[in-house]
Structure 1
């Protein structure tokens, strides 16, 4: 537009109008740009304000169908515990005659107490084994795998402990006693079983521990087919000695879910030949290597999913045998647990989630390794309860064997489960349901319950029990901000709830576990 630069243009009205029109248009465009920019700035401020408000008021909604039926039933001894056979190497240090020890176990009744483990296949009865005095150690875990002996007095002491603590003993016999032809030498069993019968001891039995790993631990091999034959021999021996009704649990395999599926293949081959000799199929499960596990592993959501993958893998191999499944030895980490982790508050997340998921997935019994001994013990050497003992006791108090379907959640931080409430926790025998779970995030969470086919809300009262600690590796656990401690006489303290209305939001602190009982909930599946 060269004419705009013409000196005469300012005197010519035509050119002056063009210039004025141009300036007006330019200013109008500038104003429009500023208005647009201001508008978008206001929108951005409103968006950020709304986003911040949503974060503060973010609520996870849980749908509860009050007309659902029972999904599964577990054993009434679902949560059980083990005493590792290695503890029998020095019976003097095993406090089974201490009243405090017995009471700690009794708080977990009814339960099975499994006396088993690697050392079960080193155990001889009432004789001195013919072996060198040198100690032999497991090349993998460094565990003592030397042969040793227990006496009939030791066996009877174990049975007395089980009876006084309200538990039913499971005794794991030595399967590595072999004849020259490779079959099981049951001469020790022929001593132990009649002894138990003579003292009217009611108990159940196992034969061997993790037989699919014998090659790595003992440099020996017992095939699945041979083990099935051995179980058939044991079943006949039990039947002939008055133990027709005793359970026989096996084959105690491990390494379920490995890439080569050796544990599943061994277990399926065992069932193929065991016929009806075995009552329950059993396997072992751990999440982590106790020698290298970190505190972050214990709250890593990927680690939590290991169990589901293992159960699914096992189910695919044994589905056709229609046999109930036990998780007969399990904890957070193998190798006797992770020091300062497996016996601390942080271990409770994996433990409570395992109890919930296993019950929903059809596991009949979950046996915690261990009640005493190792870094994963429920009870410390000074006979004080560790946090997982408290989690287990609270579970026993509030959760029944009737399992309901949990809701599908969008939140990855919250894992929860539903059961009918244990009879001991009911108020005036009015039905109730128990929701329990773990909150894995390091920030608070609000939860709201939306009932499908609801009962009258006025009849429902919520009792909330939130479990926290001062830090993840604490040896102490709090319920509703009060540290849990036994009374001086060893009895349980009162578990005092936070009482809520059914339409109130539930506030969960960072890194917390919780139990929530809906008292007065009219759900047919949970009618007494």
Structure 2
């Protein structure tokens, strides 16, 4: 039978599978009635792998996370980071960056109290600051109410100035250190001098305090400067923003502790209108000051999206268009500069309630990890580990949501080396099975092992033919499905790994993420509406040795 290659859009050259069709939509109503033959019968796919060479390598902290600055809207909520459960959950995502920032970082003002009872200092035992259970329960209850107030502020775009003390910084540093994460602190860029330049005095106060405590951390300046005018009536052009970063770099160079610390920015929104002009202007004056150029990406508006958008291959493919545009801008002005997604999730506007925090969000998340790595991004920071909104990895009760478990599996199984993969189907243009290939994590697997990331966006299972070059390897299958079957399960906040629902054993213990060991075979099975990692430990891939 003659096989027709899947349409790979602009991504074939990257080796990433990024394919899709538009039209068959899911809804909360009756079952879908579609005529696409690819959705009415099993799909048979053939893989073409190139395991002889590495396309590119991402940072070992490629999958990183954020804490939204909204958590400091009342400083007492920062104590949730002293929860044993939160630290356990965060530690499982190490190594990673931990970015503290977001909309409210540009309304935060450091007002030190110079308390004698400062929190955890570098080198002290992490056990000394664990949160008492009774206080954790009270804070979790109050946080659910606080989130409603924050949501109202977001809708009205009226933000209050947030004053924070040493407590916020101490809690962040302790959380990062005790979880094995590397803290990036976002500074307020809306503090402006009469001439329009950045007023760095408050940042200087914060840097001096952090240096006195020997807190090893990196820095950012401002969040989405393209929206400053909407948020605060202040407009800052790219050229000035670059000069502001240059000023911050100079301040850091005068510090023995921070002269070699990371500085990242400008955290612009995804390319649109003047966003690209702002990025170009920034790079012309500030590129030398930063260690990586950061930008933000969301697929859809959380207020008017629907479940079909989360499964629409054309929506997923928009990441490539935006990413390539940013990469081209950076390459033109500052070739060789690393590019990061400094903040990203499924839907902007705080996420889409009932979607961004459910099983269906995993398709956008895993596709972004696979596609982003293949396109040329070095780090992807997931909004948000904890904070306001509906796109978090951990819910208000500090229980992990489906995307958390997906992230942990990625960390454990996937290495930084990106390899080339192409997929062929007898159905031609179907784009509902998407796959990405990396070397397996060498901390867990010997050299030569492969990790195949897979997702099935459709309601019928897929049968994947494995090339002879690797078909003699045993297979470790890690298949994620919703707790409930069918389209209803897309809205679930629980997930099954190889048939077992994942949940924490206790506050300090994650469950065993059990593999399903398969013998060498010519085919793999990918269930409907599923996400999967297939590790081939005996593949002996030359690129991964």
**Please, what TM-score do these two structures have when normalized by structure 1?**
0.83
The yes-or-no answer on 1:112 pairing with 2:97 is: yes
Structural mapping, 1:253-332, within 5 Å: 253-256=268-271, 258=272, 260=273, 262-320=274-332, 321-322=334-335, 323-332=337-346
The yes-or-no answer on 1:468 pairing with 2:486 is: no
In 2, the alpha carbon distance for the partners of 1:116 and 1:214 equals 15
Q: For the Cα contact (< 8 Å) 2:44–2:465, is it kept in 1?
A: yes
In 1, the alpha carbon distance for the partners of 2:423 and 2:526 equals 19
The yes-or-no answer on 1:492 pairing with 2:520 is: no
Query: Residues 136-158 of structure 1, C-alpha deviation per residue, up to 9 Å, x if partnerless?
Result: 99987435521111001221121
Q: Residue 251 of structure 2: which of 211, 230, 237 is its match?
A: 237
The residue aligned with 1:421 is 440
Query: Residues 158-200 of structure 1, C-alpha deviation per residue, up to 9 Å, x if partnerless?
Result: 1111111111110111111111111111111111112111222
Structural mapping, 1:415-454, within 5 Å: 415-426=434-445, 429-451=446-468, 454=469
In 2, the alpha carbon distance for the partners of 1:109 and 1:160 equals 15
Distance change in 2, residues 1:447/1:274 (3 Å): same
Structural mapping, 1:364-375, within 5 Å: 364-373=378-387, 374-375=389-390
Query: 1:308 aligns to what SS in structure 2?
Result: helix
The residue aligned with 1:397 is 412
Superposition RMSD in Å: 2.1
Query: 1:436 aligns to what SS in structure 2?
Result: strand
The yes-or-no answer on 1:75 pairing with 2:59 is: yes
The yes-or-no answer on 1:225 pairing with 2:209 is: no
The residue aligned with 2:126 is none
Query: Residues 315-374 of structure 1, C-alpha deviation per residue, up to 9 Å, x if partnerless?
Result: 232222121101000000011110111010000000000000001111111000000122
Distance change in 2, residues 1:493/1:377 (3 Å): same
Distance change in 2, residues 1:139/1:88 (3 Å): closer
Q: CA deviation at 1:280?
A: 0.6
Q: For the Cα contact (< 8 Å) 1:338–1:375, is it kept in 2?
A: yes
In 2, the alpha carbon distance for the partners of 1:306 and 1:357 equals 11
Q: CA deviation at 1:290?
A: 0.8
Q: CA deviation at 1:111?
A: 0.8
Q: For the Cα contact (< 8 Å) 1:64–1:449, is it kept in 2?
A: no
Structural mapping, 1:25-40, within 5 Å: none
In 2, the alpha carbon distance for the partners of 1:65 and 1:402 equals 13
Distance change in 2, residues 1:497/1:192 (3 Å): same
In 1, the alpha carbon distance for the partners of 2:287 and 2:73 equals 34
Gaps of 5+ in 1: 1-51, 129-134
Distance change in 2, residues 1:64/1:137 (3 Å): closer
Q: Which has the larger radius of gyration?
A: 1
Q: For the Cα contact (< 8 Å) 1:102–1:161, is it kept in 2?
A: yes
Query: Residues 187-227 of structure 1, C-alpha deviation per residue, up to 9 Å, x if partnerless?
Result: 11111112111222111100111111211221111111111
Q: CA deviation at 1:118?
A: 1.1
Query: Residues 100-143 of structure 1, C-alpha deviation per residue, up to 9 Å, x if partnerless?
Result: 11111111111111111111111101169xxxxxx999987435
Q: Residue 168 of structure 1: which of 182, 188, 197 is its match?
A: 182
Q: Residue 155 of structure 1: which of 164, 169, 180 is its match?
A: 169
In 1, the alpha carbon distance for the partners of 2:409 and 2:538 equals 20
The residue aligned with 2:50 is 65
Q: CA deviation at 1:497?
A: 2.1
The residue aligned with 2:9 is none
Q: Residue 403 of structure 2: which of 380, 383, 388 is its match?
A: 388
In 2, the alpha carbon distance for the partners of 1:216 and 1:515 equals 42
Structural mapping, 1:119-198, within 5 Å: 119-126=104-111, 141-142=155-156, 145-198=159-212
Distance change in 2, residues 1:148/1:253 (3 Å): same
Query: 1:113 aligns to what SS in structure 2?
Result: strand
Structural mapping, 1:89-104, within 5 Å: 89-94=73-78, 95-104=80-89
Query: Residues 454-503 of structure 1, C-alpha deviation per residue, up to 9 Å, x if partnerless?
Result: 26x55x21111111011100010011111112222532222222222332
- How many residue pairs end up in the alignment? 459
Q: CA deviation at 1:444?
A: 1.1
In 1, the alpha carbon distance for the partners of 2:269 and 2:43 equals 42
Query: Residues 289-329 of structure 1, C-alpha deviation per residue, up to 9 Å, x if partnerless?
Result: 11111111111111111101111222232222121101000
Query: Residues 501-528 of structure 1, C-alpha deviation per residue, up to 9 Å, x if partnerless?
Result: 332421111111100001111112111x
The residue aligned with 1:38 is none
In 2, the alpha carbon distance for the partners of 1:224 and 1:57 equals 51
The residue aligned with 2:540 is 522
Query: Residues 26-75 of structure 1, C-alpha deviation per residue, up to 9 Å, x if partnerless?
Result: xxxxxxxxxxxxxxxxxxxxxxxxxx9xx8675211122332x1111111
In 2, the alpha carbon distance for the partners of 1:315 and 1:58 equals 35
In 2, the alpha carbon distance for the partners of 1:406 and 1:58 equals 18
Gaps of 5+ in 2: 1-36, 114-148
In 2, the alpha carbon distance for the partners of 1:264 and 1:408 equals 34
